[in-house]
A and B are shown apart, each in its own frame.
Chain A
Amino acid sequence: MGQTLFDKIWDAHVVSSSEGFPDILYIDTHFIHEVTSPQAFDGLRQRGLPVFRPKQTVATADHNVPTIDQHLPIKEELSRYQVDMLTKNCKEFGVELYGLGHPYQGIVHVIGPELGITRPGGTYVCGDSHTSTHGAFGAIAFGIGTSQVEQVLATQCLLQSRPKRMKIEVNGKLQKGVGAKDIILYIIAQISAAGGTGYAVEYAGDTIRSLSMEGRMTICNMSIEMGARCGLIAPDETTINYVKGREFAPKGEEWDKAVAYWKTLYSDADASFDEVLSFKAEDIEPMITYGTNPGMGIGVTQHVPETASFEAKEQGSYKKALDYMGLHDDETLLGKPIDYVFIGSCTNSRIEDLRQVAEFVKGKHKADNVTVWVVPGSKQVQQQAIAEGLDKIFDAAGFPLREPGCSACLGMNEDKIPAGKYCVSTSNRNFEGRQGPNSRTFLASPLTAAASAITGVVTDIREFLKEEELV
């Protein structure tokens, strides 16, 4: 019997396996940030332990940072204290920190890949659920809690039970205007926000294969939104070409050796999965969410489901979600006025996202009723965007390019969506209050967000693209 990609990588990292115990899994790189690490460092101090492998630990500040005037001290006292605490902890324990002002600073799931730290076949954890992003390289990567952050700092290992394996295939040709974000929002809408719980999900099929590395990261990033432990995609030439030459990628002989190994990383033809799902690319429309979890998504031309279509015991929760969103049964979102557009987050803040948005908005201008924030995922993405002149295109369109950070994805820093306002957001969560107390989030792709910013209402990007072809 052949092995799945997941099992090949897992087996290569098992330090010890005992009946009745979770496996002790070796972690190649541990990413940390300011929010979920301070209590873990405190734990080490109480135990009198050092960081076991500081060179395999990488830190950055992302959740709490402002996205304008980063050269000035952080205004909000508690945020500043938490970021300062990270600096102090990294210094005391000998951990490399790409903090504010560093040319490598950025959202932890953007910088790992762009620096060549994330590689095929590796194991990566971080005290952040979107660590699943790194699985796009054909790696095992998942989010952990602070007790586990302490565990990995203390031992470079994690106690973990092997999850079940699921394969999700997407085959066929995507419609114009439909991209990676729409694929993953579609899959989550099909299987629900809990549909992947307990599974490691491998994405396969020719549609997935045709995506760039950045598109694949968008897909794997949202694996956690269907509850999956992690998501991964077998490495191929696209992966290898992406990693090659990056700052911390292997070089010379080591590179050749690494590539030879990476080429063995795929699910064998006779590998068995606990669950296999298949979707057709042609069925996927530009997607948008209408509710308060990422499984509550529809094609942009579809209508909000009727309460009566749910089982009786689910109707209360459903009605609560629609009330929060200010929506009603059978409503269409197309044409609904919006207040904010947020382009950013670890889901959609990479250079390709910014290029795609810039290409679309060039020569257009945002609607008066909309405030737009474009937040690059890292300092490197920001510099690249400026080098390509994207900032000028954005400025002319009324889409100011800010500085890197998690920004309005999670209402923790200064960037918050005000109560009652609607935001079309390229981030990953539409939970109540996620973008600020009582904010209302419509999750969508960068193109849908950009088109909606131009018109001021929820918009079907395909209508724009049709018109532009006619011109």
Chain B
Amino acid sequence: MATKIFKHIQTSVVPLPIENIDTDQIIPARFLKATTRDGFGNNLFRDWRFDENDNPKADFVLNHPTFSGKVLVAGKNFGCGSSREHAAWAISDYGFDAVVSSFFADIFKGNALNNGLLPVQVSDDFLKKIFDAVYADHKAEVEIDLESQTITISSTGEKESFEINPYKKACLINGYDDIDYILSQKGKIEEFELAR
């Protein structure tokens, strides 16, 4: 089955300079009761975004009138905690195509990659530069190019390269699917089972 493709993006960003954002903040457990993958974006960052009466909290960035864009930029250790893939679904469903941070939790990173949501890990310094740029000009853009594995701050031209597993890179660019790949090796799985 084909999966979502990511190649290149140029967009303004949404800054969230908080460290250790865990998946319970991204999507609280009480919203995990759906049995499909759709609609989780409505509850993205639910308890930071809405008060107990479901009114938007004015001080949260997603409710801010001028910050917008297809890239979320967050503090280090983003996505720690639970393995819920619903966190990646919620970010994607809300409309983000990539998350930039100086450090990602393992399981979240894998879940994001499996859903065409690109995790871009940058240095602490570069992360600060993005925050500085976007606070100076809320419409400041970044450009992310997966083929060359680079992220550029459009206004200043400052650029950094990022790492990605070459297999997952090929999957994102071509829309390849893990299950198709493993099933292409089905004979080897059966041989492995017989040899045990």
Contacts and interface: CB of A to CB of B under 8 A. Distances in A.
Interface string B46-61: 0100001000000000
A197 interface: yes
A227 B1 CA distance: 31
Contacts, number: 172
Interface stretch (B109-117, B137-145, B150-158): B109-117
Contacts of A144: 83, 107, 110
A314 interface: yes
Interface of B: 1, 17-20, 22, 24-25, 28-30, 32-37, 47, 52, 75-77, 80-86, 88, 103, 105-107, 110-111, 114-115, 124, 128, 165-167, 178-179, 181-183, 185-186, 188-189, 192-193
Q: How large is the interface on A (under 10, 10 to 19, 20 to 34, 35 or more residues)?
A: 35 or more
Given A22-B167, A82-B35, A193 B80 contact: yes
Interface stretch (A262-270, A340-348, A433-441): A433-441
A46 B1 contact: yes
A159 B83 contact: no
B1 A36 contact: no
A432 B25 contact: yes
10 contacts: A47-B179, A127-B83, A147-B111, A159-B167, A193-B80, A313-B128, A412-B30, A431-B25, A432-B47, A437-B28
Given A16-B185, A22-B165, A148 B110 contact: yes
Given A151-B178, A411-B30, A15 B183 contact: no
B82 to A, nearest CB: 5
A156 B178 contact: no
A20 to B, nearest CB: 5
Contacts of A35: 32-33, 84
Contact of B188 (A16, A295, A429): A16
B192 A434 contact: no
A419 interface: yes
Contacts of B83: 36, 127-129, 131, 143-145
A314 B189 contact: no
A194 B35 contact: no
A140 B47 CA distance: 35
A295 B25 CA distance: 17
A150 B33 CA distance: 18
A288 B126 CA distance: 35
A194 B81 CA distance: 10
Given A143-B107, A293-B22, 11 more contacts: A26-B189, A63-B29, A145-B114, A146-B86, A148-B114, A193-B80, A194-B80, A197-B103, A316-B18, A412-B33, A431-B81
